[in-house]
Amino acid sequence: MKIRRFHALQESYIMKKNKKQLSYEGLAWTELIISSPSDYADYVDGLAAIIKKHSPTETQTLLHLGCGAGVYDYTLKNHFQVAGVDLSKSMLKIAGKLNPDVAYTRGDMRKIRLKKTFDAVIIPDAIGYMTSVKDLRKAIRTACRHLKNGGVLLIVTHLNEEFKENNFVYTGEKGNVRVTIFENNYITGKNEYEATIVYLIRKKGKFKVYTDVHKIGLFSSSLWNNLLTERGFSVQRLPAADIYDRFMLAEGEYPQVMLVCKKSKHESQR
């Protein structure tokens, strides 16, 4: 028992050394055990409605940066012709199976250039992986480069001044696999928190424990405003639905906001 446990923890260490997140590589398969597209369908329909409402023309094409396992894309494609970008090969493999009709590309939201523009771009629940102002600026630049003039960029994020520490638990099972995931969010610095994730996985009755640590950037609303306006966006802030609150342990809060950013109709590509 001890040896197997050590082996699993060691695996987590090796993944980190290679700068890959265990959650999004070796354990990406757990995504569709703990959630399914239907769990998020109403929320994603709401995101689509906001994009359509704020777009000056009909929104046909949409780029999802940090698309993960394609859980949101499953619903987004009812509204738009969707393209997705993610850093993780394993997440994209799952996304491709779930959404064979979506164009997925592996890439980094700080650097990727698809040589194509879209009516809308979204970054829900992934921009936190930008842990420095430099990286955040690069990701916003990528979004802007891929957006048609007059188009809408929708970002779902935390704001530094509102973020609270908290704990979550997610569970799911499929066949003879059971997964329990604990997540502890702990503020480690002025502009960063750490999500420590512990996976309890039982496959055919055999038990393993894995750990992963994610560093997440926290930026103030004024910094967000500055970075978005310097790229020519006009920004409207809306409250984001509390979609994760049902997984929260004990008392807690996980406030997120939606930044609806409109690109100028006459903005040149910068």
**Closest distance to ligand SAM from the beta carbon of 239 (Å):** 17
By CB under 6 A, the residues from 181 to 200 that bind ligand SAM are none
Nearer to ligand SAM, 76 or 228 (CB): 76
CA angle centred on 246, ends 155 and 94, rounded to 5°: 60
Stretch that binds ligand SAM, among 55-63, 84-92, 180-188, 240-248 (CB under 6 A): 84-92
Q: Which of 37, 62, 63, 68 binds ligand SAM (CB under 6 A)?
A: 68
Q: If you count DSSP H runs as helices and E runs as strands, how many of each does the chain have, helices first?
A: 7, 11
CA 162 to CA 153: how far, in whole Å? 22
CB 241, CB 43: distance < 8 Å: yes
Residue (of 163, 158, 168, 165) closest to 136 by Cα position: 158
87 binds ligand SAM (CB under 6 A): yes
The CB-nearest residue to ligand SAM is 68
**Closest distance to ligand SAM from the beta carbon of 135 (Å):** 8
Chain centroid, CA 228 distance in Å? 19
**Closest distance to ligand SAM from the beta carbon of 250 (Å):** 22
Exposed e or buried b for every residue in 226-260, given b needs 16+ CB within 10 A?
ebbeebbbebeeeebeebeeebbeeeeebebbbbb
84 binds ligand SAM (CB under 6 A): no
**Closest distance to ligand SAM from the beta carbon of 92 (Å):** 8
Per-residue x/- marks for ligand SAM, 103-132, CB under 6 A?
-----xxx-------------xxx--x---
CA 97 to CA 47: how far, in whole Å? 23
Residue type for position 12: S
By CB under 6 A, the residues from 19 to 48 that bind ligand SAM are 24
By CB under 6 A, the residues from 135 to 174 that bind ligand SAM are none
Which stretches of the chain bind ligand SAM, using CB under 6 A?
A: 24, 66-68, 71-72, 85-88, 91, 108-110, 124-126, 129
